[in-house]
Chains A and B, each alone.
Chain A
Amino acid sequence: MELTGADIVVKCLQDEGIDYIFGYPGGAALHIYDALYRQDKVKHILVRHEQGASHAADGYARATGKPGVVLVTSGPGITNAVTGIATAYMDSIPLVVISGQVPTHLIGDDAFQEVDAVGITRPCVKHNFLVKDVKDLAMTMKKAFFVASSGRPGPVLIDVPKDVTANKTEYMYPRSVKMRSYAPVVRGHPKQIRKAADLLLNAKRPIIYTGGGVVSADAEETLRELVQLLGYPCTNTLMGLGAYPYNDSLFLGMLGMHGTYEANMAMHDCDVMLAVGARFDDRITGDLSKFSPFAKIVHVDIDPSSIGKNVKVEIPIVGDAKSILEDLVKELHSRKQQPEPGALKQWWKQIDEWRGIDCLNYDRNSEKIKPQYVVEKLHEVTQGKAFVTSDVGQHQMWAAQFYGFDKTRRWINSGGLGTMGFGLPSAMGVQLAYPDDLVCCITGEASIIMCIQELSTCKQYDLPIKIINLNNRYMGMVRQWQEFFYDRRYSHSYMDALPDFVALSESFGHRGLLVEKPSDVEGALKEAFAMRDQLVFLDFITDQAENVYPMIAAGKGHNEMHLNPGSGEPPQERELA
């Protein structure tokens, strides 16, 4: 049967098994919106700004592992979505973005709401397509889903001119697709895996450092098996939290700029590092010339260009993290050799000494609400079972340090691009995917304002998200840098003229709670979570002067951390070879 391009778009989504799409209509997308109207399999979530659509689809994708789908119109529709596309690109999140385009005969004429969507998004998508013929539409949709969700995942844009959505052709959705120019490697090279096993078994000061790749490969079980088999310390990046349980004794916490003292010191002193699905970015490594000077590195990554980009590695292994970790576990089981117990004991003794300084210590007797305390209490009240999204800044780091994750896909934040405004819309995507689970958005008063309009979307679809606003009346991370590196010249980091967040959320039809005293924190959280069907905005008035510790300042090494004034004395440095 012949279908219009618009119906084909919607049929493809149905055949791909898509339940939710996030979007905002406009002229060039109207045929597609009409096709959506005439069916009820694919549910469309109407956001209030296209940035919200791409973040919501992104949150959905991060929580479920399935590609998120965005539908926007041409011109400002797609340009507004770009921030969300770039956010997904930096964190390797599968998105399929469908944008309307002016009719083919008007392309290049500076037509109303025309923008070169393919050109504008090119640097921040894994791939993109302009569909000029309705006959190519179904195949292009199939390719888009295939490219977005295979290999190293990422966003893919399909730009569809309005006349293409009106033209008709036979519809047939391809079952599979092969592309001669795109064939990601899955299995790791067996010889490399054997070499990695040799290196790991002979390590004296090993560390296992894993990132978002373990999350996207669903390799957490295998990672845990490997870590426990070897008894080696494990640290996760900001993007990889949850891959190893926060409360296991082999876990050193997060590493990097605001990572724990023990994780960063162990990274610095290690002699063998197994890096899995992590890309040695600057927030992890600090000064590259001072990075892990004694380490021989095994780097497992599905993207060959991530390997050797920033740091030289001894043993590169290209492939899917899960498949490679499984092969590595098998290889280790087949060996008689065990890690040397004496050296390992010595290493753990050193790590425990580092742990002893209690780097995440904060003032628990303060009369002001400490943001760390709110996050800890949130963990208690939700029993650590909530999905936690965040925006960007101090609150994001406190959420990462203090919530404690024991599953992947529960911690949802913009790690690579660092997009303020991400938290609330991404929480919408998570809540739609998991309607019966607890979803909280840990945010700050500066970030939340950036996509505050989505409170309206939350009302329309009854999304009972709990917003944890750590309100310090500053762009906290900016203020912290200004305190440390700009002689306390707080240039434009003060959030003057803030709204009354309780009244604001109530005006959107939600509940709001203002919390000003530490003794009220727990009660307010319990009260909010008791309102199962309500979005509750908890406005915590927190200590303005609180800083995120530990901190590796830009250009410093892992062993040059700025510690919390309340932490213990760092142990003496040892001579290492």
Chain B
Amino acid sequence: MRHIISILLENEAGALSRVAGLFSARGYNIESLTVAPTEDSTLSRMTIVTAGSDDVIEQIVKQLNKLVDVVKLQELTEGAHIERELMLAKVKATGDAREEIKRLVDIFRGRIIDVTDSTYTLELTGTVEKLDAFVKALDMTEIIEVIRSGVTGIARGERALSA
């Protein structure tokens, strides 16, 4: 089962490697990991997408809580939540494809953020499924490169993760 774990941790050198090291040392899998400081510069917020049985996820949560740098964590997938991922894509845009790509970007509510005679650079945010669908729909043209940020997320409603 796919799980999203959101972690509030001390914004200190080495905190990221403690988390990453824990996953590799104990053989847990990481699908994606994002991290950046929060509005409080002493804290970072990390979002990890992982997969495993309930027992494995329980161990992951306990082991993460055990790290001295981890202030709090929340399993987003336990409740209603919103998840988003940012994608930037550079695609070949020549001839008829130029117009078609623009229409497609509009349909997916993305944006064209850079243009040359032969390329478009696109920006799109959404769930993993939406981004996957967009990449699939781009089959009329050649993809030069795709960068995805990995998933971040937040709980719906009153539920929040703060120090």
Contacts and interface: CB of A to CB of B under 8 A. Distances in A.
Interface stretch (A58-66, A120-128, A375-383, A412-420): A120-128
7 contacts: A122-B18, A179-B68, A181-B10, A303-B66, A305-B59, A305-B65, A308-B55
A123 B63 CA distance: 12
B157 interface: no
B160 interface: no
Contacts of A308: 55, 58-59
Interface residues of A, number: 18
A119 B68 CA distance: 15
Given A123-B25, A130-B13, A304 B68 contact: no
Contact of A126 (B55, B58, B68): B68
Given A127-B68, A181-B9, A181-B71, A122 B17 contact: yes
A65 B13 CA distance: 31
A351 interface: no
Interface in A174-194: 179-182
A147 B10 CA distance: 16
A308 B18 CA distance: 23
A122 B18 CA distance: 7
B11 to A, nearest CB: 11
Given A304-B62, A305-B62, A309-B59, A180 B163 contact: yes
A122 B69 CA distance: 12
Interface string B67-81: 011110000000000
A305 B25 contact: no
B14 interface: yes
Interface of A: 118-119, 122-123, 126-128, 130, 147, 179-182, 303-305, 308-309
Nearest to B12: A129
Nearest to A147: B68
Contacts of A182: 68
Nearest to A181: B71
B52 interface: no
A129 to B, nearest CB: 9
Q: Which of B10, B55, B62, B63 has the most CB of A within 10 A?
A: B62
A179 B10 CA distance: 10
A307 B69 CA distance: 21
Given A119-B17, A182-B68, 14 more contacts: A122-B14, A122-B17, A122-B18, A126-B68, A127-B69, A128-B14, A130-B13, A180-B71, A181-B10, A181-B68, A304-B62, A304-B66, A305-B62, A305-B65
Nearest to A179: B68
A479 to B, nearest CB: 32
A161 to B, nearest CB: 13
Contacts of B37: none
Nearest to B24: A123
Given A126-B68, A181-B69, A305 B21 contact: no
A181 B25 contact: no
| Cβ-closest 5 pairs across A and B | A305-B62, A127-B68, A181-B71, A304-B62, A182-B68
Nearest to B14: A118
Interface in B1-36: 9-10, 13-14, 17-18, 21, 25
Interface in B90-113: none
A126 B70 CA distance: 13
Contacts of B18: 122
Contact of B66 (A122, A130, A305): A305
Contacts of B70: 181
Given A130-B13, A181-B10, A305 B63 contact: yes
Nearest to A124: B25
